[in-house]
Chains A and B, each alone.
Chain A
Amino acid sequence: GIQVEQSPPDLILQEGANSTLRCNFSDSVNNLQWFHQNPWGQLINLFYIPSGTKQNGRLSATTVATERYSLLYISSSQTTDSGVYFCAVGEYGNKLVFGAGTILRVKS
């Protein structure tokens, strides 16, 4: 099956710093989503981005489907950005395969 690798596995930032999270996948996909799992365990949708670039406030994402990777950019990080960031790619029928996640800690 498809493999999803996320990097880095852990990231500690000072409040206000910028960061880039990466997601590599092993095969063609018809769906790619980024999620933020907050400290309460909720999976929050950040981006639905099978290809191209999107921005939402301080967050933006880019997927280069032909090269099988996606990037999530967080600018001016805040403590509320802490949590786990997951990349998930969709195989047939929108079955999502999740990466192991990036644990982000933002310090004030």
Chain B
Amino acid sequence: DAGVIQSPRHEVTEMGQEVTLRCKPISGHNSLFWYRQTMMRGLELLIYFNNNVPIDDSGMPEDRFSAKMPNASFSTLKIQPSEPRDSAVYFCASSLEDTEAFFGQGTRLTVV
């Protein structure tokens, strides 16, 4: 298996623009997670899906952030409008139920 695949790897955008991050989980995994890593806050969970259903979105910072999982093999994280403080590395991870989670290579987002 190719592991968790994220795209793009790097994204530079201007403040106010819409940003969409994409994730393909490992085939057969039924849990998907979006995390954000910053120097100030470390690695924090944004949202968690199980069987394509959002279970816990309490980590989503504000209404500008939204996430979807239309099917078992694809998820998106959207920021609209983007702000400079959204600059971070965004990771997607997947697991089979409560077993070991595997992370993608991350998307480094810079909002200028």
Contacts and interface: CB of A to CB of B under 8 A. Distances in A.
Interface of A: 30-31, 33, 35, 41-43, 45, 48, 86, 88, 90, 93-98, 100-101
Interface of B: 31, 33, 35, 42-45, 48, 50, 55-56, 89, 91, 93, 95, 97-103, 105-106, 108
Main secondary structure of the interface of A (DSSP, over half): strand
A94 B49 CA distance: 11
Given A96-B35, A97-B45, 15 more contacts: A33-B101, A35-B103, A41-B105, A42-B105, A45-B102, A48-B100, A93-B31, A93-B50, A94-B95, A95-B33, A95-B45, A95-B48, A96-B33, A96-B45, A98-B42
Contact of A93 (B48, B93, B103): B48
